[in-house]
Structure 1
Amino acid sequence: MNIQCRTIHEGDPVIISSAFAEQGWDKPQSLYERYAQEHQKGERVTIIAEVDGVFAGYLNVLWHSTYPSFRSQGIPEINDFNVLIRYRRQGIGSILMDQAEAVIKERSAVAGIGVGLFSDYGNAQILYAKRGYIPDGKGIHNGEKYIGYGDHVQIDDDIALFLTKELR
């Protein structure tokens, strides 16, 4: 198995969207077209992983996070990290994370990432802990505000705990 990483190209959006559709996920091509445009503008870095030349996963580095704590501190965020189900547990996620951390290290001593709270994110939770990411101490966030004691929320993909790692 030959795993290679590269940045997003113009022809990737249709390939990525189709690959996720094959596994039953709705990830519209327009999302990846936006990623490619923002990558070209330098607003994000979109890293693609391929196995033997076939798309396997991706992640983004956002230079200006929408998460308030990261944004105010200038912490780049690893964002929208996805590996196709058939390629999971083969080291691809770790390779993508290595690439993202190397990109971030060129500009920042700290990397940030958010992770969902329910079982679908279990593998990611374990991966981030093993890589040395620790909670930022702000609690959970729903994409709009921090969740406080007594708040009622629906647990979905927007509910996340944000973590940071010192890059050495």
Structure 2
Amino acid sequence: MNLKIRKLAEHDPWIISNAFKEQGWEKPAAQFERYVSEQSNGDRTTLIAEIDGVFAGHVNVIWESYYPAFKERNIPEVNDFNVLLKFQRLGIGSKLMDKAEEVIRERSSLAGIGVGVFGDYGNAQVLYVKRGYVPDGKGIHDGQHYIKYGDSVVINDDIVLYLIKTLD
């Protein structure tokens, strides 16, 4: 297995979108075109994993998080981390996270990440804890505000627990 991790390039959006479509996930090319634009203006770094030249996964580093607690403390956020199903369990996700943390370490001693709270995110929850990420202590967030005791919410991809890690 010849793994290469590199920054997102202008020719990548349609390749990535089609790869996700083949496994039944809807990730439009426009999303990755936006990532190219935001990377070129310094707002994000998008890392691409390829196996023998074939797209296998990606991860983003958002330099100014939208999550209030990270934004206040200037904590870069690891975001939109995905490995294609056919390439999972090969260590590609760990290598992408290693590289994302290496990129963050150039600017910050802290990294942040959000993870969904239902079973579909179980593998990610375990991975992040094993990598040393711990809850930021603020509770769960729905993209707009923190969920308080007694609140009723629909559990979906917007309901997130945010974690932080001190980078050595």
Note whether the superposition's TM-score is higher than 0.5.
yes
For residue 119 of structure 2, what is the amino acid of its counterpart?
S
- Does residue 1:142 correspond to 2:142, yes or no? yes
Give me the TM-score of the superposition, normalised by structure 1: 0.99
| Letter matched to residue 42 of structure 1 | G
Aligned to 1:54: 54
The superposition leaves residues 37-91 of structure 1 with CA deviations (integer Å, 9 ceiling, x where unpaired) of 1011111000000011100000100000000000000000000001101111110
1:72: which partner in 2?
72
Q: Tell me, what secondary structure is at the counterpart of 2:135?
A: strand
- Deviation string, structure 1 residues 85-105 (Cα, Å, up to 9, x no partner): 111111000000000000000
Task: Give the structure 2 partner of residue 39 of structure 1.
Answer: 39
Give the match's secondary structure for 1:125: helix
Question: What is the rounded CA distance, in whole Å, between the counterparts of 2:37 and 2:4 in structure 1?
Answer: 22
Letter in 1 for 2:3: I
Equivalent residue for 2:98?
98
Tell me the secondary structure at the aligned position of residue 112 of structure 1: strand
- Give the unaligned 5+ runs of structure 1: none
Aligned counterparts, 1:79-158, within 5 A: 79-158=79-158
Deviations 1:4-35 (A, max 9, x none): 10000001000000000001111011000000
CA distance in 2 between partners of 1:85 and 1:77 (Å)? 23
Partner of 1:27: 27
Question: What SS class does the counterpart of residue 70 from structure 1 fall into?
Answer: helix
For residues 88-145 of structure 1, the C-alpha deviation after alignment (integer angstroms, 9 at most, x for no partner) is: 1110000000000000000000000000011111110010000000000000000111
User: Which structure 1 residue ranges, 4+ long, deviate > 3 Å from structure 2?
Assistant: none
Structure 1 counterpart of 2:15:
15
Following the alignment from structure 1 to structure 2, what is the Cα–Cα distance between the partners of residues 89 and 140?
28
TM-score (norm 2): 0.99
User: What is the alpha-carbon distance in structure 2 between the residues aligned to residue 15 and residue 2 of structure 1?
Assistant: 19
SS of 1:161's partner is strand
Shift of 1:2: 1.1
Q: Alpha carbon RMSD of aligned pairs, Å?
A: 0.5
